[in-house]
Amino acid sequence: MPEYNKIDTVFNKLKSENRKAFIPFISIGDPALETSFEIAKTLVENGADIIELGFPFSDPMADGKVIQRSYERALKNKISMEDAFAFIKRLKAFRDIPVVLFTYYNPVFILGEKFAKDAKEADVQGVLIVDLPPEESAEFTKYIRDKNIYQIYLLAPTTAPDRMRYVLSYAKGFVYYVSVTGVTGARKNLPETIKSRVEEIKRISSIPVGVGFGISSRDQARDIAKHSDAIIIGSKIIQFIEDDIEDKRRILKKIAEFSSDIRSALNDTASSGL
């Protein structure tokens, strides 16, 4: 019988405490490998429950301009998958937080079974492969099945009910609900349909639902957390990096303050009984 996946452990613990998960996203190697490691540590120290780490890719079709530029900066640093796994091992040595590796299929396909072996060795709990839907995942699933690594799937506002049921039948750990149509990026306003769509997912499956794409403020996080199990934020955090690219101390300070604020907002949701 496989060991328990730490993503399940986190969500079970938070559920028992009536709290919601904060899942930040950053790109490994942006703006430099060591700085991105300090950013990851800062997120862990300031309220992250799970961390999503992006492997820089040259053609990130699901990502908006902020994350695209983040990948471009990281690619200039020639970040390899070996670097990514070493990064995760270092972070795990600092704090044993569940890690979801966000990537596209091409780098995974090239490595094949070695990817799964190295991911297991680095103690990766989940892999989100944007361009690998369930019906094309058989080979990848074969590699990760006995390593207790979850493949995290996406659902979108445009996902039809039958398709939703199909994807949820494969989902493990949590399902990532994309709150808006289009690519990643912080937004001032988010659709009012998020609540009804999350409720629809929950009628089909008991799996935790994380909502991401567009969340950029404390108020948005608190409102969405009333209906979901996790808040996923990437572009807003990466914008802090871009805004002060030459000032590491300022980047870390802004990210620490923002993360603490989001954590506080999610705690407010729990204390209010929502």
Name beta bridge partners: 178: 212
Residue 38 lies in a domain: yes
Residue 274 lies in a domain: no
Residue 252 lies in a domain: yes
What is the edge-to-edge ordering of all strands in the sheet holding 153-155?
Answer: 150-151, 126-129, 99-103, 51-54, 21-27, 230-233, 209-212, 175-178, 153-155
Structure confidence at residue 4 (pLDDT): 83
Residue 1 lies in a domain: no
Q: Among this protein's residues, is 49 annotated catalytic?
A: no
CATH number at residue 69: 3.20.20.70
Residue 168 lies in a domain: yes
pLDDT in tens, the chain (274 residues): 456 899 999 999 999 999 999 999 999 999 999 999 999 999 999 999 999 999 998 875 656 688 889 999 999 999 999 999 999 999 999 999 999 999 999 999 999 999 999 999 999 999 999 999 999 999 999 999 899 999 999 999 999 999 999 999 999 999 999 986 544 434 444 557 888 999 999 999 999 999 998 788 999 899 999 999 999 999 999 999 999 999 999 999 999 999 999 999 998 765 554 4
Name beta bridge partners: 176: 154, 210
Structure confidence at residue 184 (pLDDT): 44
Residue 117 lies in a domain: yes
The range of the structural domain enclosing residue 46 comes to 6-269
Structure confidence at residue 186 (pLDDT): 43
Marked catalytic residue, from 30, 49, 63, 223: 63
CA dihedral 214, 51, 211, 70 (to 10 degrees): 20
Structure confidence at residue 190 (pLDDT): 54
Backbone angles phi, psi at 178, to 5 degrees: -80, 115
Q: What's the predicted TM-score (pTM) here?
A: 0.93
* DSSP per residue, 140-163: HHHHHGGGT-EEPEEE-TT--HHH
Domains of the chain: total: 1
Please report, as a single letter, which amino acid is at residue 207. Answer: I
* Residue 161: cis peptide before it, omega within 30 degrees of 0: no
Residue 90 lies in a domain: yes
Sole residue written with tokens 């799937």: 153
Which pairs count as long-range contacts for 86-93, CB under 8 Å and 24+ apart, including other chains? Answer: 86/122, 87/28, 87/33, 87/36, 87/37, 87/40, 87/53, 88/53, 88/122, 88/123, 88/124, 89/121, 89/122, 89/123, 90/37, 91/37, 91/40, 91/41, 91/44, 91/51, 92/122, 92/123
Structure confidence at residue 188 (pLDDT): 47
Marked catalytic residue, from 52, 118, 139, 268: 52
Q: Among this protein's residues, is 52 annotated catalytic?
A: yes
Please report, as a single letter, which amino acid is at residue 161. Answer: P
Residue 118 lies in a domain: yes
